[in-house]
């Protein structure tokens, strides 16, 4: 039996599109999608799918052994905003799921892991402009703490046990398929939906809050390119900084307004403002560009065009 890929948390914002792309590359039957529920029916019906709780070591192990899975993409997590509401659940899921896949590699069941970190590893004491790869990381959210600790464990397993684990510190990811799952950068997805559906948006961040962001297609390409890169070229086994575009709510609003002149916005910052304020406004990703030739394609204008085109089709409107 040829070796297979397992995606845990495949029904989420990133997992949905990662699964589709991996299936295009490796074949539908070679990529098993899994999640804790079947809410994303398009994905569930598109190829092999299993219900797997990322906190259940035996469930992951059985799936890997039964299907000769050798590579795992661990996408299940509780994100930044939800993590602040359920801190212990975030710690439990984000840490234990990572230990499970790291230990599966240690036990030689699988031999390659992708685990995403986040710009949430940074905090208010981090230099916030052009944040370096190696810098102060004092995160103030539970989510950020889990990502920071996760990075340390990834590097530890690589150095002590030679586990091939690879990671990216994703910025805010913008996409038009699955909705985002409770992060602080969700506004940059919601704003496109509301522009098409209602012509107005009430933003939960203030108008000048600049954050690092990326269009989904770039994020998926980065993920797959990192996983395909020669191991010898990789110098970072904690997690790579990754960047594409930085913008504020006002700038994304103006980019949409160029296409929908009657679009309007109001700003009503909530608890997510404090989270956003603790994160960098731009990221230095030169190490990723050097080590595995990372290059982004989409700027704000290109992304706005694709988002509006696809959402107009989705909502069946030429608004
Ligand atoms: N989306 C972003 O902007 C962003 C930015 C930085 C990092 N990340 C990271 O990328 C990864 C994927 O993020 P996403 O945006 O796709 O998240 P998401 O919330 O959209 O999806 C997570 C998926 O995990 C599933 N899940 C939850 N609990 C589970 C469990 N116990 N067992 C199995 N599955 C479970 C959910 O049902 C969901 O389908 C996460 O590690 C996240 O921290 C995302």
**Tens digit of each residue's pLDDT (9 = 90 or more) over 44-91:** 999 999 999 999 999 999 999 999 999 999 999 999 999 999 999 999
Contact indicator for 31, 48 with CB cutoff of 8 Å: yes
Confidence band for 39, pLDDT divided at 50, 70 and 90: confident
Residue 38 has pLDDT above 80, yes or no: yes
Mean pLDDT of 86-112: 98
**Tens digit of each residue's pLDDT (9 = 90 or more) over 274-294:** 999 999 999 999 999 999 999
pLDDT for 317: 81
Query: How far away, in angstroms, is 87 Cα from ligand 1 center?
Result: 15
Mutate to test the pocket of ligand 1, among 75, 141, 216 (most ligand atoms within 8 A of CB): 75
Query: How far away, in angstroms, is 37 Cα from ligand 1 center?
Result: 13
Task: Tell me, using a 6 A CB cutoff, whether residue 144 lines ligand 1.
Answer: no
pLDDT for 319: 66
Inter-axis angle of helices 187-197 and 249-257, to 10 degrees? Answer: 30
Atom of ligand 1 nearest to the CA of 94: 41
Mean pLDDT of 168-188: 96
Distances (CA, A) of 204 to 81, 207, 272, 278, 316: 12, 9, 7, 15, 27
pLDDT for 51: 98
Query: In the chain, pLDDT over 90 holds for what percent of residues?
Result: 97
| Average predicted confidence (pLDDT) for the chain | 97
In the chain, what's the furthest Cα-to-Cα distance? 58
Q: How far apart are CA 292 and CA 311, in angstroms?
A: 33
Q: Could you give the residue numbers annotated as active site?
A: 143
| CA-wise closest residue to 195 among 12, 17, 317, 14 | 317
> Torsion-angle region of residue 4: left (phi > 0), alpha (psi -120 to 50) or beta?
beta
Burial 189-225 (b: 16+ CB within 10 A, else e): bebbbbbbeeeebebbbeeebbbbbbbbbbbbbbbbe
Mutate to test the pocket of ligand 1, among 77, 89, 120, 211 (most ligand atoms within 8 A of CB): 77
Residues in contact with 215: Cβ distance below 8 Å, sequence separation at least 6, in sequence order: 173, 174, 175, 244, 245, 296, 297, 298, 302, 303, 306
**Tens digit of each residue's pLDDT (9 = 90 or more) over 202-251:** 999 999 999 999 999 999 999 999 999 999 999 999 999 999 999 999 99
């Amino acid at each position: 039996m040829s070796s297979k890929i397992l995606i845990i948390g495949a029904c989420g914002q990133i997992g949905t599109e990662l699964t589709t792309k991996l299936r295009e590359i490796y074949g539908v039957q070679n990529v098993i999608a899994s999640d804790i529920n079947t809410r994303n029916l398009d994905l569930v019906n598109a190829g092999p799918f299993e219900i797997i709780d990322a906190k259940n070591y035996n469930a992951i192990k059985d799936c890997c052994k039964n299907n000769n899975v050798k590579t795992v993409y661990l996408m299940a997590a509780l994100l930044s905003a939800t993590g602040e509401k359920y801190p212990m659940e975030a710690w439990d899921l984000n840490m234990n799921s990572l230990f499970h896949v790291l230990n599966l590699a240690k036990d030689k069941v699988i031999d390659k892991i992708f685990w995403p970190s986040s710009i949430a590893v940074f905090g208010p004491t981090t230099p916030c402009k052009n944040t370096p790869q190696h810098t102060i990381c004092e995160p103030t959210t539970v989510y950020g703490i889990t990502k920071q600790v996760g990075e340390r464990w990834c590097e530890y397993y690589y150095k002590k046990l030679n586990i091939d684990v690879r990671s990216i510190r994703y910025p805010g990811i913008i996409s038009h398929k699955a909705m985002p799952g409770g992060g602080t950068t969700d506004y940059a997805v919601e704003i496109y939906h509301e522009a098409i559906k209602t012509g107005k948006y009430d933003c939960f961040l203030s108008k000048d809050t600049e954050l690092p962001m990326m269009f989904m297609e770039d994020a998926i390409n980065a993920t797959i390119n990192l996983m395909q890169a020669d191991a010898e070229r990789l110098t970072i086994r904690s997690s790579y900084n990754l960047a594409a575009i930085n913008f504020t709510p006002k700038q994304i609003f103006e980019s949409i307004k160029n296409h929908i002149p009657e679009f309007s916005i109001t700003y009503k910052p909530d608890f997510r403002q404090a989270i956003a304020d603790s994160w960098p406004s731009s990221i230095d990703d030169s190490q990723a560009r050097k080590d595995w030739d990372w290059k982004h394609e989409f700027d704000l204008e290109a992304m706005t065009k694709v988002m509006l085109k696809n959402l107009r089709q989705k909502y069946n409107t030429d608004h």
